[in-house]
Amino acid sequence: MTDKNTSADTLIRLSAAQLAEKLHAGEVTAVEATQAYLDRIAAVDGQVNAFLHVNAEEALAVAAEVDAIRAAGGAEAEALHYLAGVPIAVKDLIVTIGQPTTAGSKILEGWHSPYDATVVERLRAAKMPILGKTNLDEFAMGSSTEHSAYGPTRNPWDLDRIPGGSGGGSAAAVAAFEAPLALGTDTGGSIRQPGAVTGTVGVKPTYGSVSRYGAIAMASSLDQIGPVTRTVLDSALLHQVIGGHDPRDSTSLPEPLADLVAAAKTGNVEGLRIGIIKELHGEGYQAGVENRFNDALELLKEAGAEIVEVSCPNFQYALGAYYLIMPSEASSNLAKFDGVRYGLRVLPVDGPMTIERVMGATRAAGFGDEVKRRIILGTYALSAGYYDAYYGSAQKVRTLVQRDFEAAFAEADVLISPTAPTTAFPLGEKLDDPLAMYLNDVATIPANLAGVPGLSLPGGLADEDGLPVGIQLLAPAREDARLYRVGAVLESLLEAKWGGPLLAQAPDLAAAAAGTLETQEAK
Ligand SMILES: NC(=O)C[C@H](N)C(=O)O
């Protein structure tokens, strides 16, 4: 390995905040950092399949612009955003000018958005080079990224295992050091569960605190865009870039964001009440997950937090309610993919060429099985005669889940649970069993139903399989800052316990790639 490679290898392993510091100090240029990530993508993404599209030219142009501004100095350099020049990957559910947006679906193959999502505009305003678009379950429907029409993403910890979903591409890109930062979307856990199983940090902000303008809608009353990163501070930094009011999203909260970065730097949890949710651990959770969860509680207690137990009895109905509300909203949102307005158009092979038959042929060919399953489920739940029994009851459960949270937050400042019941499972294991797949989100869905923010951070490795375990923190709506405060403290305590960041223990994919080539040559 040459010195240049060594330094590129060190560069891609820095957190976004560390990279930003080096950029400010002039120790590295934005072009060098961006090129190091592009080289890493070229070296390992053949194995991981985190990216659906890489936009090297545009990313390098933005990086070069940042370098030129810095080199010139003066007011323009002063005005550069702290993260200027720090590259980022974007989930391919979020629209971008100049790069295709597929939503992981054949129906949008080759489609280009004529506009940028608000979050993308904000990345561009901060001059963060966008490396490319990441893989996902089709229209964000899934927990393993196996439902992508463009092949599954693989977990960098074990390439035969799933990276979680739907945002497996964003999480795997960050975990495999292909990007320091990524954007995800979370409707029922799609940022947090992939974060948990890849050893990364993922945040679902308070509903309405980050604009969804330009995120292809799955279930509009649940969807939220958020950060995917390697450290809690990086998530706070990215959240601060993308968050805040947007008049183009009618659900956008009017108030400005709190200082999330300052919250991440608070450095103590003394006197905070942290509530264990009785219903979200124990039975049904893998032993190694439970063990790491208990370690986290122990560390927080030692750091001066008060650990209490709360009960949320209606959470047992949350998954059922979600799988009525989400498909109902999705069936309506996905009606616009009709073969007329966007992407694919398939003509019927014979018979009359009516508009209904073109729509039918397009949707039959363009949507995958999971999307069709949910459209059928949602259409059924909303149909006359069933509406009250299904959709209506699910909305009532939603209110009960919100009340459970209100009662729990009267007793605790922050709630805690494992993020997912298990570590990453083997590819293919749950593909034929949708219910088993849906159960991955049992601990993440309540937050979406209630609109409260949630953060998942790596809690260590499970004893039985050596794979990452996620710890989830939940706070009341608009109190995202608490997540960063507790999350950053817990992260530093855990790092002290393991002797460094968890991802440092992940297998070296570049070396593995070289090994594979050697073995193939030997054959
Ligand atoms: N979109 C999400 O948040 C993922 C969730 N696993 C679902 O399939 O609905």
113-131 pLDDT tens trace:
999 999 999 999 999 999 9
Is the pLDDT at 365 greater than 80? The verdict is yes
The values of phi and psi at residue 131, to 5°, are -70, -35
When pLDDT is cut at 50, 70 and 90, the band that residue 510 belongs to is confident
* Average of per-residue pLDDT across 63-92: 98
Q: For ligand 1, say whether the CB of 454 is within 6 Å of any of its atoms.
A: no
Percent of the chain exceeding pLDDT 90 equals 93
Task: Using pLDDT thresholds of 50, 70 and 90, give the confidence band for residue 523.
Answer: very low
User: Does 195 sit in the ligand 1 pocket, CB within 6 Å?
Assistant: no
What integer is the mean pLDDT of 223-229? Answer: 98
Of the CA atoms within 13 Å of residue 387, those in its CB half-sphere come to 5
Q: How far apart are the first and last CA of the chain?
A: 25
Residues known to be catalytic: 91, 166, 190
User: Ligand 1, closest atom to CA 143?
Assistant: 6
The answer to whether residue 443 scores a pLDDT higher than 70 is yes
Nearest atom in ligand 1 to the alpha carbon of residue 188 is 3
Compute the distance from residue 330 Cα to the ligand 1 centre, in Å: 11
Topology annotation, domain 3-316+399-518: Amidase signature (AS) enzymes (3.90.1300)
Check if 99 has its Cβ closer than 6 Å to any atom of ligand 1.
no
Residue-level pLDDT at 343? 85
Q: Whose CA is nearest to atom 4 of ligand 1?
A: 190
Strand 414-418 relative to strand 181-185: parallel, antiparallel, unpaired?
unpaired
pLDDT category at 4 given cuts 50, 70, 90 is low
What percent of the chain shows pLDDT beyond 70? 97
The arithmetic mean of pLDDT across residues 183-210, rounded, is 98
User: What mean pLDDT do residues 499-514 have?
Assistant: 87
Q: Give CA–CA dist 62/70, Å, rounded.
A: 12
Q: Which residue has the tokens 């947007």?
A: 246
520 pLDDT more than 80: no
CA distance 135 to 434: 20
Cβ-contact 319, 442 below 8 angstroms? yes
- In the prediction, which pLDDT does 85 show? 98
Distance 81 CA to ligand 1 centre (A): 33
Q: Residues 228, 202: contact at Cβ < 8 Å?
A: yes
Compute the distance from residue 305 Cα to the ligand 1 centre, in Å: 32
Contact by Cβ (8 Å): 71, 231? no
Tokens for 353, please give them: 């060429």
Domain-wise residue ranges, the chain: 3-316+399-518
Question: In Å, what is the CA distance from 281 to each residue of 170, 254, 312, 436, 447?
Answer: 26, 35, 12, 17, 16
pLDDT tens-digit series, residues 424-435: 999 999 999 999
Question: Would the CB of 146 count as within 6 Å of ligand 1?
Answer: no
Give the helix ranges, DSSP H, for 343-473: 355-366, 369-382, 393-411, 434-438, 445-450
Residue 351 has pLDDT above 50, yes or no: yes
- pLDDT (0 to 100) of residue 513: 67
What average pLDDT score do residues 474-496 get?
98
pLDDT at position 208 over 90: yes
Euclidean distance between CA atoms 343 and 106, whole angstroms: 9
Query: What is the distance between the alpha carbons of residues 254 and 268, in angstroms, rounded to a whole number?
Result: 30
Residue where the block lists tokens 């904000």: 122
**Model pLDDT, residue 519:** 42
Cβ–ligand 1 distance for 136 under 6 Å, the answer no
Is 246 near ligand 1, meaning CB less than 6 Å away? Answer: no
- Give the number of the atom of ligand 1 that is nearest the alpha carbon of residue 448: 3
CB burial of residue 47 (10 Å; 0-12, 13-18, 19+) = middle
Q: How far apart, in whole angstroms, are the C-alpha atoms of residue 266 and residue 249?
A: 31
Question: Scanning the structure block, which residue is given the tokens 């980022």?
Answer: 88
- What spacing in Å lies between the alpha carbon of 165 and ligand 1's midpoint? 7
ipTM of the shown complex: 0.97
Separation CA 154–CA 138 (nearest Å): 16
Ligand 1 atom, smallest distance to 326 CA: 9
Mean pLDDT, range 69-85, rounded to an integer: 97
What value does the mean pLDDT of the chain take? 95
Q: Tell me, what's the pLDDT at 323?
A: 97
Ligand 1: which of 94, 105, 137, 422 to mutate, most ligand atoms within 8 Å of CB?
137
Please determine, for residue 384, whether its predicted confidence score (pLDDT) is greater than 50: yes
Each residue's pLDDT tens digit, 262-296: 999 999 999 999 999 999 999 999 999 999 999 99
What integer pLDDT is reported at residue 433 of this predicted model?
A: 95
Q: Using alpha carbons, select from 493, 386, 434, 366 the residue that is nearest to residue 142.
A: 434
Separation of CA 494 and ligand 1 centre (Å): 28
Among 91, 143, 147, 197, residue to substitute to test ligand 1 (most atoms within 8 Å of Cβ): 143
Name, in order, each residue with C-beta under 8 angstroms of 402's C-beta and a sequence gap of 6 or more. Answer: 449, 450, 451
